[in-house]
Amino acid sequence: MERVYYIGMDLHKKKMVYCIKTDDGTVVSAGSVASTKAELLRWAKSIDREWIGGMEATMFTGWVYDLLKPLAKELKVAHPEMLKAITSSKKKNDRIDAEKIADLLRCGFLPECHMVSSETRELRRILRYRNLAVREAVKMKNKTAGLLMEVGAEYNKKRLHQKKYFGELMENLEDVPESVKNLLALSRSGLEMFDGIQKQLVRVLLGNKHIAERVRRLTTIRGVGEVVALTWVLEIDDPHRFPSIRKAVSYSGLCSAQNESAGKSKRGPISKKRNKHLQTVLIEAAKLAPRWNPELAEIHARESERGHKNRATLAVARKLVAFMLAVDKRGEDFKPKAVETGGRTAIVIKREDDFKNGAA
Average pLDDT over residues 1-10: 86
Each residue's pLDDT tens digit, 142-166: 999 999 999 999 999 999 999 999 9
Each residue's pLDDT tens digit, 160-197: 999 999 999 999 988 899 999 999 999 999 999 999 99
Q: What is the pLDDT of residue 87?
A: 75
Q: What is the pLDDT of residue 330?
A: 93
Query: 360 versus 96: which is more confidently predicted?
Result: 96
CA distance 113 to 115: 6
Residues 328/231, Cβ–Cβ less than 8 Å: no
Residue 339, pLDDT above cutoff 70: no
Which fold is adopted by the domain 5-107?
Nucleotidyltransferase; domain 5 (3.30.420)
Each residue's pLDDT tens digit, 211-242: 999 999 999 999 999 999 999 999 999 999 99
Residues 279/313, Cβ–Cβ less than 8 Å: no
Residue 346, pLDDT above cutoff 50: no
Residue 17, pLDDT above cutoff 50: yes
pLDDT band for position 340 (cuts 50, 70, 90): very low
DSSP string, 200-261: HHHHHHHT-TTTHHHHHHHTTSTT--HHHHHHHHHHH--GGG-SSHHHHHHHTT-SEEEEEE
Q: What is the pLDDT of residue 260?
A: 73
Q: What is the pTM of this model?
A: 0.86
CA distances from residue 279 to 72, 182, 313, 350 in whole angstroms, order as listed: 35, 38, 12, 23
Q: What are phi and psi of 181, to 5 degrees?
A: -60, -40
Percentage of residues of the chain with pLDDT beyond 70:
92
Each residue's pLDDT tens digit, 241-275: 999 999 999 999 998 877 777 777 777 778 788 89
- Beta partners for 256? 270
Q: 68: how many CB neighbours lie within 10 A of its CB?
A: 20
Q: What's the whole-number average pLDDT of the chain?
A: 89
Each residue's pLDDT tens digit, 18-70: 999 999 999 999 999 999 999 999 999 999 999 999 999 998 899 999 999 99
Q: What is the pLDDT of residue 352?
A: 39
